[in-house]
Structure 1
Amino acid sequence: MTTATDGLLDAHLTLLAEALLPFRSSEQQLARWGTELAATLAGGGRLLVAGNGGSAAEAQHLTAELVGKLRDDRQPLSAIALHAETSAMTAIGNDYGYDEVFARQVRAHGRENDILLLMSTSGASANLLAAARAGREVGLRCWAFTGPAPNPLADACHETLAIASPESQVVQELHLVSTHVLCEYVDRALPAALAVAGTAGQAPVERPTAPVRTGVEVVLDGGDRRVEAG
């Protein structure tokens, strides 16, 4: 007896397999991005990430891996999923419109040479396009995970990892793979990046201070004070 669901898994896996062939060429890009991201985070920079719907979940997965850990224990790394700031998002959406919910946060949190990663299956979301424009204005490096290119978000960002599949579910699945591989490369590059950041760092400035007196302060009759060694 057959049902209406027969063959759905096979059809889905066929689409996934078709997308995997061109996706294999993303290795060098993910390795380079991982090295750049490790250097940015080790040097005190920050990763800002945003997406809508399923891509929001993907983006939050990425920040969780960086602030927490992927596999081995290491120091926490600064990464913020902008859509997770629900009070800020709803306030900005209410006051400025939904297209600005990420862009305003980018202007608030982004610093020059931080990295902004935007995730979209369509590459056409207005709020992500506004965020990319804001990121470039602030001086952030803008990256995107998208579906098939060309698309508006790919054009708005400095670099894009585009998944060659017309199926949004497959795109999101390979975005998750990209997230894990990116974090693997971050962890691999992080020790060297921390060493470079430590070598380049400035020593704290020595500030003159008054000598510290030790002992017991005694108040004598007449209000005179003296310090006795303790």
Structure 2
Amino acid sequence: MSNQIKNLIQQSIATKQQVLENNALLQVVEQVTDLIVSTFKNGNSVYFCGNGGSAADAQHLAAEFSGRFYKDRHALPAEALHCNTSYLTAVANDYSFDLIYARLIQGLGKPGDILIGLSTSGNSKNIVQAFETAKEKGMATVGFTGESGGNMKASSDYLINIPSADTPRIQESHMLLGHIICQLVEEKYFAE
């Protein structure tokens, strides 16, 4: 069994090595960092969405901004859109699960806000619909996906597509880059 454990760790390292060597992808991470800093400086918000494990990752990253990362500092306006279960179950029941995020963006989103969607396949209908609504509202969209970008590719202003088709490896890399963005945003925002 220890060989299997080592093999899985090596697969994770190999995916992250591909991320490390992908200069275009790292440039997008830098652009997203700068975008989030300017968004917060302008008094706007960052919203996150995802499904399943990606919802957990979205909530985690939102909490890094609204709570803290390294610095003891003021809260930043970031929120994961799936945390109100009464809302989610009502909209999913009364309308469609595909609309749960789009309706929240329709009600909460403002021009200059950012919507960050996490989907390993890039094909989550509820995130694609939310991205379309965000664009109508004048919001920027950031997609965290797997290698192809899926259907989110077309509606993402910034695409962070991990070079893998393996869901756990993609999610591990989403959190790696998400943490990097959180750290750099915190350093830049509170240093200026």
Q: Give 1:197's aligned residue.
A: none
SS in 1 for 2:82: helix
In the alignment, structure 1 segments of 5+ residues that lack a partner are 194-230
Q: Give the structure with the higher percent helix.
A: 2
Moved over 6 A (4+): none
Aligned equivalents of 1:188, 1:86: Cα separation in 2 = 33
Q: Give 1:107's aligned residue.
A: 106
Q: Give 1:85's aligned residue.
A: 84
Aligned equivalents of 2:32, 2:149: Cα separation in 1 = 20
8 Å CA contact 1:123, 1:147 repeated in 2 = yes
Aligned equivalents of 1:81, 1:156: Cα separation in 2 = 19
Pair 1:15-2:14 in alignment: no
Aligned equivalents of 1:103, 1:47: Cα separation in 2 = 15
SS in 1 for 2:111: coil
8 Å CA contact 1:30, 1:185 repeated in 2 = no
CA RMSD, 1 decimal:
1.4
SS in 1 for 2:44: coil
8 Å CA contact 2:28, 2:159 repeated in 1 = no
Aligned equivalents of 2:4, 2:122: Cα separation in 1 = 26
8 Å CA contact 2:48, 2:79 repeated in 1 = yes
Letter of the 1:161 counterpart: I
Aligned equivalents of 1:150, 1:190: Cα separation in 2 = 29
1:62-81 C-alpha deviation (Å, 9 max, x unpaired)? 11100110011111000110
Letter of the 1:13 counterpart: I
SS in 2 for 1:111: coil
In the alignment, structure 2 segments of 5+ residues that lack a partner are none
1:123-168 C-alpha deviation (Å, 9 max, x unpaired)? 1111111111111111110011001124111222111100111210
Pair 1:73-2:72 in alignment: yes
Q: Give the paired residue count.
A: 189
1:86-124 C-alpha deviation (Å, 9 max, x unpaired)? 111111111111000000001111000100000001111
Q: Give 1:29's aligned residue.
A: 28
Pair 1:153-2:149 in alignment: no
8 Å CA contact 2:149, 2:159 repeated in 1 = no
SS in 2 for 1:83: coil
Query: What's the CA shift for 1:11?
Result: 2.3
SS in 2 for 1:160: strand
Query: What's the CA shift for 1:43?
Result: 1.6
Q: Give 2:52's aligned residue.
A: 53
Q: After the TM superposition, which residues 213-224 of structure 1 pair with which residues of structure 2 at under 5 Å, given as runs?
A: none
Q: Percent identity?
A: 31
1:41-85 C-alpha deviation (Å, 9 max, x unpaired)? 122100010000000000000111001100111110001100112
8 Å CA contact 2:114, 2:139 repeated in 1 = yes
Aligned equivalents of 1:102, 1:34: Cα separation in 2 = 23
Aligned equivalents of 1:109, 1:192: Cα separation in 2 = 29
SS in 1 for 2:71: coil
Q: Give 1:226's aligned residue.
A: none
